[in-house]
Structure 1
């Protein structure tokens, strides 16, 4: 088969690498790679290419970067590749029906959840945030809806109690790459059938925002701890005390109660900073001060100024939007 790949971030690059390797051992061919336009990023605002583009160029694969497919020329250019299949992984664009219909076998998607649960932009983080015990990969035949197409293959992966958004991302990226290769072979040999999604079971994984990463200390300690793990390593949960913004990388729930107001520091020692929340307490174990690196609280408290900042009785504030 002639295959077009469309994707942008590291998650997609894992699938592209697996596809390139597989094509070297078969008669399949990646004829082009589509990815988001180069963008300015970082403190220096330097223009950088996506991980998918870098990988494609390293393998001498043609790269296309349309802003969208509203321009007729972009759709005609896609058709000129005469692709049998288009593989879409975290591309970042909703594809119009005209694009979905261009390859002979249509477009398939590698999605980081067990559809129909967690359709949308942030399925990995939302699964951790709400306390799901498992996630996985769904290979889906794409239609005009958002992650609504018929399912071709699924693979399940458990979510560990210590799972972070970053660790689950890496596990699912590897799993998605492996499942994609299986799907390609099954499609080529007409050995795959589609299962329609049950819309009544669907949930939506809204895009992450920095604003929602601000810790609400009146929330339950359990939910705050899950959110801290889910948003590690982006956008990272934050807290504020005496005007200073603190990034919270790790924490643990302490099954105890207190009459102190939410956000009050009950104790700060080498084990962590114990904070009052709703229903239980939360022990912050790894923090990052502004202009500094992430470190364990036991090391953070070596500085007298930090001991004073996180002293018993001090209170974390609500962060204004």
Structure 2
């Protein structure tokens, strides 16, 4: 009888322990979710350093500035009172965006034409940047996407030239532009200067059917973390912004929803998160979605991405 009682108590101890572990896990997940909601609502109002940018310098530099997220960053920073240097490959678009910004926000603009799939553009960019009086902000936004989710081994768009171009365009500019701008910032006596690197949530984990793109975005995330950790000068903040889907030309202006904002809505929120998070998803809908998808084990994540590929293929045909 004593043995049976002891075994019963032992089993109860294990059941109790399992319940405690489950409760602690659920509590941890709830706290994480509440933290996300807090930081993207009250937190950004309390801790945002966006207003410091106006006092940090006269100029903001934006790469990939003629469309989508890059264009809206240029507009928002101009609205904050900064002069804008626009860098992109299409001169006609650059002139149009520069004229729009000057007319709408009454700030000075300069343009630099540069094809970031080439490696010979940086000397000219550095010469243009050296002419600026002071720099408040660099937004490394330029990048290439992929036309569709597909298998790396068999995708018809993946050619030697495509691989070279996407690797050059998505990795080299952030390294080179930061190398050009950071020493100039360090010589300034102001505080609140920013280097904002536009990455992607796809850089955080294995991303089937986006293998090459996600690998280049992992480079952005890792370089930003490393430079931030070695940059002991706390007057300069290095932030990585990792969006999910935003309704822009790059993804065919997909339908807007709680989880798919337009570029204007996304950038306004992301800029407000400057100084709040070093690595940010920029938008509360993206942060919540990433929180839940991050709970999926890799074995399930693979099938989720396979489902997404099938869904995109089906809707593209329609």
| TM bin (shorter chain) | 0.3 to 0.5
Relative to the length of structure 1, the TM-score reads: 0.39
- Which one has a larger percent helix, Structure 1 or Structure 2? 2
TM-score by length of 2: 0.40
Higher relative contact order structure (alpha carbons within 8 Å, sequence separation ≥ 6): 2
